Copies of this chain bind each other. A is one copy, B any other.
């Protein structure tokens, strides 16, 4: 691969901002706290400011280069705290990338393996040393919060969420929220996950043994954040796991999550029974040093729970869960994730990596929802949450899966109870099994509901779920669907200011400000394109009617007449009292309900 190739690849990375808006920043308590927002300029002279996850890519003032990575936004904050130090770090090994080739740390661009294409090469950016806590000190946001400190990261998310920094700190201290921010991922823009904040959305990416390249995964990451993904999980399982992750991390403005077990299993050639605490620990440290912000750990799959799944309709559907179940059975021992959990906490604390305690026994179909296996594991996750908390390790809890609507509330209520209100992070849930190819919708329904009832982050599902790997279109559809679910939940929770967005768009609709309607939409391009399919001409964008009713039947137009006749300045009672008079005026005006039309 040549430098020329890399530059061409870089050009494909998403860098365009949303139409009709521009990137802006809100300044925080200190000048280096600059919180990105998307500012939509309306044709009536007003602005609407929206939460923005797209990172520096959508800022025309910033030149990005995927070969160099993003600027380390948080680096000074981390250094200034003085509680971490750089160190040599773990030696990289061929098996980190699936036994294929050696990958020296931070080296220059080099064609490491002949079978690699596109960005499939060692990340060429600036050399870096990993960082970890000094002298075993607690360097987690939870640790700071418990000690009463407000970090720049907390200040940042307070501005982002329009809340007080002390509130952010208190929610984190209580374990009701997490702020995933590995000291080795200084490129990330701080964000918070908790039931008293905006509902967040995660997008999964990742190659598999069957398909996909590093280049595609980096592009999917920037693409997902462009449409609103708050975090991205890299679930790669094929070759080049380490290298893919390096490219993704160095270019990601959002926290990155992983499932270290997938890579550990690659290291033992896919034989679950050959997994060990040593291999797993080595992998976790490798990923901590790279900068992974949160890790799914299936430590709740206990030996005695496995038989509870034997009579399920679809058994164990979590990859991590099934791997650990197989290990437990093979060794007839409790899982090394469970028996070494305290040690794992010590490791994660040193880098401020957040636990995402995986639900390895989540139900894979409607028939298995809320069953004994799932509930048993949830109890154990509650126990592990308390241990993690004692170690100052931030923790969230993963949730299902497939759950019919009437069992969703029971599910989250139970989670909140047994896990001391730790943030719930759910996949969907899918509310029916009958619609493969539409599982973004079957699950978007469940996601909106469980978000309303308190889930803090929703893991998206794409139309390809159960069928194949998502391409860029699927990623976009999944993210948009889940942004809808998250925002619907914010509205239902009465999150302060959430309805402003709806109100701005509805005002634009009522006043036939078509361009504003498009620009305020979650997906301006598609909204505009759909309008233009029926009424393509430019005048139609200022027309006081639309293609649904045509010029004569427009209800909005009639409503305007009613408002004009009946006065903005009157209360409903006053309006009623004056109605007879108004009626005479209406008649005097010629009873014209519709404006003259030309066809």
A: residues with CB less than 8 A from B are 208-211, 237-238, 262, 265, 270-273, 303-304, 306-319, 321-323, 325-326, 329-332, 364-367, 372, 404-406, 431-438, 441-442, 444-445, 448-449, 452, 463-464, 466-469, 471, 480-481, 483-485, 487-489, 491-494, 499, 501-503, 505-507, 509-510, 517-518, 520-523, 526-527, 529-531, 533-535, 546-556, 558-563, 565-568, 570, 572, 575-576, 579-580, 582-584, 586-587, 591, 593-594, 597, 599
Contacts and interface: CB of A to CB of B under 8 A. Distances in A.
Given A553-B265, A558-B323, A593-B271, A521 B435 contact: yes
A53 B140 CA distance: 58
Given A548-B468, A560-B315, A527 B488 contact: no
Contacts of A583: 329-332
5 contacts: A211-B534, A314-B510, A329-B565, A331-B583, A332-B579
Q: Which 8 A-B pairs have the closest CB atoms?
A: A315-B559, A209-B550, A468-B534, A365-B506, A332-B583, A322-B558, A307-B575, A405-B492
A295 to B, nearest CB: 17
This protein's copies in its complex: 2
A313 B556 CA distance: 11
Contacts of A442: 484, 488
A361 to B, nearest CB: 11
B593 A273 contact: yes
A30 to B, nearest CB: 32
A208 B432 contact: no
Q: Is the interface of A mostly helix, strand, loop or mixed?
A: helix
Given A433-B506, A480-B435, A491-B432, A237 B550 contact: yes
B448 A319 contact: no
Contacts of A406: 452, 491-494
A493 to B, nearest CB: 8
A534 B313 contact: no
B555 A467 contact: no
A493 B404 CA distance: 10
Given A210-B547, A271-B591, A309 B559 contact: yes
